């Protein structure tokens, strides 16, 4: 029993205990490749989150090891993520009010709060939240975040002063700021960009960000560009920085509770999309609740490591898969390489130019852009297209956190609209006696004297009045006067709602006034029990049958019996 509990808690460890020797070589190759990509990206994302570059490395090492034990995906690599860091910066920056130590403190606390939300969701088996942010919402969100990141990095890439805080103001001030660009900084940015594009074209499997950052740092060091206005990251020394807590203000945590929840949902959805896609490619499945728990644990580990919030990293996961990674050992190897750099190769990192990191961030953000995907939605699903564009515009105009909240609210409203006013069908029988939806000249005809109706939504207290009104309107407007109304109960009766059962009792009486009998076809056992418990439908005027075909046979036999009884 204890072993089964351990297996459920640590699916990664269970997989590692069955490790095969043939996996070692591809795992080592994949681990080194992942580390080569993760190093510069982690430093760049730390800059995006507004903390010291070394914090980006803190956020990689122990969390990657933790995921290797607690995660259920064999290919997924966790680490800093562009969207996650953008959300953190949007929340923490105004609360920190320019105090870098407080900024770091709040970043750690928001990471811990996000991890706590994930663990709570896992405890209540809420892995289905992976579907809360639909693909249109996520597409609009990622495109909006990508534009926000790219605009935010323009000042660093071109070397002019600090831009205004909000996106619209930044774009408005951009023409004037361009006049104050620094030519040396622009040259470093151009060198970084050319390196990235060159490796993408001629060596696509090589870690282009690593070579680009190394080359930019070497050029900065050899040319002494720091003395000529090229800003470098700094923050690296022989002593690893430690956050100080004596002056922390706990009252600020109130402002991060809901943003941390938003961040947990966004990170989990993004992580599950990546994990599921690579699991499907490699022929296995991931457990959504286990992934929620793993995401919570790795973020708490990141907070304890003085790091910031992390999620599934699709680019590093793709590198892992492309290099043939077979198990979670890839994460452990990559974490070991990053730890070695952190402990023994700190000095060279101080020459990394901020402009080079800005180019890497813009390069990563460019990969998030998918306007073509949104445009395809316009042709295939106008509602999804509107939702994606609404999310995109909200992120640009009101910010990442508010944009996510408004997009989720709109998505829920669209869902409620579908439940409030669902589609419906009138059913009939074809020449072979099969029951189908009528319409489109498909040869399906109504059964004489019978109106078969399907309501394509679960019935609940807020749509049962509409359901009742639709049936009565259809009965009154039907060219022939039906003697029977048969409702497909399978699609609409999913739970025992007392308001629904009472409305069905009222519908039965209203139909009887029109000399029409009501038949519920499907879920006979459940409906019988529900009506008996609630003391409804005790007379024989409400007929319950197992399915639509038996309903038609019952009606046929009753009408034959009535015809035979007439002298």
Q: How far apart are CA 283 and CA 123, in angstroms?
A: 27
Q: What is the mean pLDDT of residues 330-350?
A: 89
CB atoms inside a 10 Å sphere around CB 64: 33
Q: What is the mean pLDDT of residues 186-202?
A: 90
Task: Give the DSSP H/E element, type plus range, for residue 451.
Answer: strand 450-455
Half-sphere exposure of 426 (CA within 13 A, CB side): 18
Token pair, residue 137, equals 């919402």
Q: How confident is the model at residue 387 (pLDDT cuts 50, 70, 90)?
A: confident
DSSP 8-state assignment for residue 30: H
Beta bridge partners of 424: 455
Reduced to 3 states (helix: H, G, I; strand: E, B; else coil), residue 394 is helix
Q: How far apart are CA 326 and CA 306, in angstroms?
A: 30
Q: How far apart are CA 54 and CA 512, in angstroms?
A: 76
Query: How do 450-455 and 484-488 pair as beta strands?
Result: parallel
E-state strands within 60-175: 78-79
Reduced to 3 states (helix: H, G, I; strand: E, B; else coil), residue 421 is coil
pLDDT at 454 over 60: yes
524 and 497 Cβ atoms separated by less than 8 Å: no
Task: Give the DSSP H/E element, type plus range, for residue 21.
Answer: none
Confidence at residue 1, expressed as pLDDT on a 0 to 100 scale: 46
Dihedral in degrees, nearest 10, Cα atoms 330, 336, 107, 146: -50
Cα–chain-centroid distance for residue 79?
16
pLDDT at 540 over 70: no
pLDDT at 309 over 90: yes
Residue with tokens 């023994």: 344
Q: What is the mean pLDDT of residues 353-363?
A: 84
Over residues 480-514, the pLDDT tens digits come to: 789 999 999 888 888 888 888 888 889 999 999 99
490 and 527 Cβ atoms separated by less than 8 Å: no
518 and 541 Cβ atoms separated by less than 8 Å: yes
- Considering only CA atoms, which of 547, 512, 93, 118 is closest in space to residue 311? 118
Half-sphere exposure of 82 (CA within 13 A, CB side): 28
Integer CA distances (angstroms), 503 to 156, 451, 469, 544, 545, in order: 64, 19, 10, 16, 19
Global pTM reads 0.70
Q: What is the mean pLDDT of residues 404-432?
A: 79
Q: Which CATH number fits domain 424-565: 2.40.30.20, 3.30.750.24, 3.30.43.10, 3.40.50.11740?
A: 3.30.750.24
Task: Give the DSSP H/E element, type plus range, for residue 518.
Answer: strand 517-521
Q: How far apart are CA 348 and CA 343, in angstroms?
A: 12
Q: How far apart are CA 294 and CA 276, in angstroms?
A: 15
E-state strands within 237-364: 311-312
pLDDT at 3 over 60: no
Q: How far apart are CA 504 and CA 515, in angstroms?
A: 16
369 and 53 Cβ atoms separated by less than 8 Å: no
CATH 3.30.750.24 segments of the chain: 424-565
81: alpha, beta or left, given left = phi > 0 and alpha = psi -120 to 50?
A: beta
Q: How far apart are CA 305 and CA 505, in angstroms?
A: 61
Confidence at residue 486, expressed as pLDDT on a 0 to 100 scale: 92
Residue with tokens 């439940």: 419
Integer CA distances (angstroms), 125 to 70, 128, 194, 291, 499, in order: 16, 8, 47, 11, 28
Residue 245 vs residue 440, higher pLDDT: 245
DSSP 8-state assignment for residue 232: B
Q: How confident is the model at residue 284 (pLDDT cuts 50, 70, 90)?
A: confident
Provide the mean pLDDT of the chain: 84
CB atoms inside a 10 Å sphere around CB 550: 14
Confidence at residue 307, expressed as pLDDT on a 0 to 100 scale: 94
Residue 433 vs residue 537, higher pLDDT: 433
Q: How confident is the model at residue 60 (pLDDT cuts 50, 70, 90)?
A: very high
């Amino acid at each position: 029993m204890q072993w089964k509990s351990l297996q459920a808690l640590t699916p990664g460890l269970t997989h590692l205990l069955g490790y095969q020797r043939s996996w070692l070589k591809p795992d080592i190759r994949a681990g080194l490749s992942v580390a080569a990509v993760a190093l510069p990206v982690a430093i760049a994302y730390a800059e995006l989150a507004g903390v010291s570059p070394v914090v980006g490395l803190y956020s990689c090492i122990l969390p990657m090891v933790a995921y290797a034990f607690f995660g259920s995906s064999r290919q997924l690599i966790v680490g800093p993520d562009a969207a996650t860091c953008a959300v953190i910066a949007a929340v923490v920056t105004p609360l920190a009010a320019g105090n870098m130590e407080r900024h770091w403190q709040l970043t750690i606390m928001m990471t811990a709060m996000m991890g706590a939300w994930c663990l709570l969701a896992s405890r209540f088996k809420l892995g289905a939240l992976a579907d809360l942010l639909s693909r249109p919402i996520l597409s609009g969100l990622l495109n909006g975040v990508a534009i926000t990141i790219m605009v935010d990095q323009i000042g660093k890439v071109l070397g002019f002063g600090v831009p205004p805080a909000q996106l619209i103001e930044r774009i408005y001030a951009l023409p004037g700021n361009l006049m104050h660009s620094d030519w040396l900084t622009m040259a470093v940015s151009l060198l970084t960009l050319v390196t990235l594009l060159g490796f993408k074209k001629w060596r696509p499997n090589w870690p282009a960000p690593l070579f680009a950052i190394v080359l930019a740092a070497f050029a900065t060091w050899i040319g002494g560009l720091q003395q000529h206005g090229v800003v470098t990251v700094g923050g690296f020394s022989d002593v690893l920085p430690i956050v100080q807590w004596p002056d922390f203000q706990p009252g600020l945590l109130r402002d991060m509770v809901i943003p941390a929840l938003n961040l947990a949902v966004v990170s989990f959805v993004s992580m599950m999309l990546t994990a599921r896609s690579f699991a499907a490619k490699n022929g296995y499945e991931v457990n959504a609740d286990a992934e929620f728990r793993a995401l919570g644990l790795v973020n708490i580990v990141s907070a304890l490591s003085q790091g910031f919030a992390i999620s599934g990293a699709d680019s590093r996961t793709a590198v892992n898969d492309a290099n043939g990674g077979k198990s979670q050992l890839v994460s452990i190897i990559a974490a070991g390489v990053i730890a070695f750099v952190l402990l023994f190769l700190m000095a060279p990192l101080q020459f990394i130019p901020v402009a080079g990191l800005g180019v890497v961030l813009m390069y990563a953000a460019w990969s998030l852009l998918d306007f073509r995907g949104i445009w395809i939605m316009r042709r295939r699903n106008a509602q999804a297209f509107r939702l994606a564009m609404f999310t995109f515009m909200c992120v640009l105009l009101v910010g990442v956190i508010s944009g996510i909240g408004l997009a989720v609210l709109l998505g829920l409203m669209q869902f409620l609209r579908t439940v409030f006013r669902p589609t419906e069908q009138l059913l009939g029988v074809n020449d072979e006696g099969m029951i189908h939806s009528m319409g489109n000249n498909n040869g399906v005809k109504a059964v004489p004297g019978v109106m078969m109706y399907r309501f394509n939504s679960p019935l609940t207290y807020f749509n049962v009045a509409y359901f009742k009104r639709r049936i009565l309107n259809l009965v009154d407007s039907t060219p022939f006067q039906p003697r029977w109304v048969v409702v497909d109960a399978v699609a609409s009766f999913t739970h025992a709602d007392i308001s629904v059962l009472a409305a069905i009792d009222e519908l039965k009486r209203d139909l009887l006034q029109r000399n029409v009998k009501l038949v519920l076809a499907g879920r006979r056992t459940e409906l019988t029990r529900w009506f008996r418990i609630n003391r409804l439908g005790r007379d024989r005027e409400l007929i319950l049958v197992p399915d639509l075909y038996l309903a038609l046979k019952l009606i046929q036999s009753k009408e034959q019996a009535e015809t035979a009884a007439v002298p």
